[in-house]
Amino acid sequence: MEVKSRRVGGATYQIPLEISSIRQTALALRWMVSFSQARKGVSMRDALAAEIRDASEGQGSCIRKRDEMHKMAQANKAFAHFRW
């Protein structure tokens, strides 16, 4: 799930939407690479390996980002009827 902004009648709502499996994979890989690059003082190979290891254990920056997205979608579930 992710949220997209939609302007309805002068107000902007965060609309929760389901995303395709291709986009899910793309987001996950993009987050892994960006969080790996953010690890300073470590080679990219080691940082990426550590990020993959953390994700497989259910912790780390990628998992935290995903959980934040899900919480945001859950909080805005009331606006799902604005989907079209």
CATH number of the domain that 73 lies in? 1.10.455.10
Query: pLDDT confidence of 74, banded at 50, 70, 90?
Result: very high
Q: What pLDDT sits at residue 83?
A: 80
Q: Measured between alpha carbons, how far is 32 from 18 in angstroms, rounded to an integer?
A: 21
Number of domains in the chain: 1
What tens digit of pLDDT does each residue of 25-39 get? Answer: 999 999 999 999 999
CA distances to 6, 17, 19, 39 from 25, in Å: 24, 16, 10, 22
Q: Measured between alpha carbons, how far is 34 from 61 in angstroms, rounded to an integer?
A: 10
Q: What pLDDT sits at residue 71?
A: 96
* 82 vs 57, residue with greater confidence: 57
Domain that holds residue 48: 2-82
